Amino acid sequence: MDNRVILVTGTPAVGKTTVATRLAEQLKAHYVNLTDFANKKQLVLEVDEARDTSVIDEAKMRRKLKALIAKAQTDIVIDGHYAAAVTPKAPVSNVFVLRRNPVQLREFMRKRRYDEAKQKENLEAEILDVCLVEALSKQEKSKVCELDISDKSVDETLKEILEVLEGKRNCYYGCVDWLGMLEREGKTAEFLSP
């Protein structure tokens, strides 16, 4: 298989779907939104009402994604905050972990009307690098690219991703430190529970 399998991951509300759909359009790639995929393929085990989220069968999803990738005739862009955990490692060519300043991310979540508990959980995940750590532990580290998309347009973010894919820009991680930023600004208590 010579087709690329590109993961776009990051905390909910960071901008993954917008970037991933535009990337798929640009590459003329097959686009997979993991939430939709889980619903269509009946991979939802239960709905966690308290957290307003679905619990998926990761093993079944991994098998379904493996089959989809094996049959693909084009590049595939997979979008989801747990994409790195459920996509088989071998075929993945790139993992883009989108990061956003927690102050901006909180505003995005408020606009989407996330309740306080969901905002808190997702902000803490962003500050503590949860999606990045998952990508580094589940995929090949050399394929993980962390992008701070704070204050960047979708076009600017897309340009960076395309430059990485074309070999014009190096891929790296470890460039974002929201916890350190919040500590320097004296805002840690505002975002993290004791």
Going by C-alpha positions, the residue among 13, 23, 28, 8 that lies closest to residue 83 is 8
Successive 10-residue mean pLDDT values, the chain, 194 residues: 89 96 98 94 79 80 94 96 94 97 95 90 95 97 97 97 96 94 93 80
DSSP, res 99: E
- pLDDT of 44 reads 82
**pLDDT given for residue 120 in this prediction:** 92
d(Cα 187, Cα 179) in Å, to the nearest integer? 9
What does the alpha-carbon distance between residue 160 and residue 149 come to, in Å, rounded to a whole number? 10
Q: Is 82 exposed, middle or buried (0-12, 13-18, 19+ CB in 10 A)?
A: middle
The reported pLDDT for the residue numbered 51 is 67
Please say whether the dihedral angle defined by the alpha carbons of residues 92, 93, 97 and 98, taken in this order, is positive or negative.
negative
Who contacts 16 (Cβ-Cβ below 8 Å, separation ≥6)? 8, 9, 10, 79, 80, 81, 98
- In 3-state terms, what secondary structure has residue 65? helix
Six-digit token pair at 9? 């991951």
Nearest Cα residue to 95 out of 86, 106, 107, 103: 86
For residue 49, the model assigns a pLDDT of: 73
pLDDT value at residue 59 = 92
Q: Is the pTM of this model over 0.75?
A: yes
Q: Domain coordinates of the chain in residue numbers?
A: 5-100+129-175
* Residues 77, 27 contacting (CB under 8 angstroms): yes
CATH code for the structural domain at 5-100+129-175: 3.40.50.300
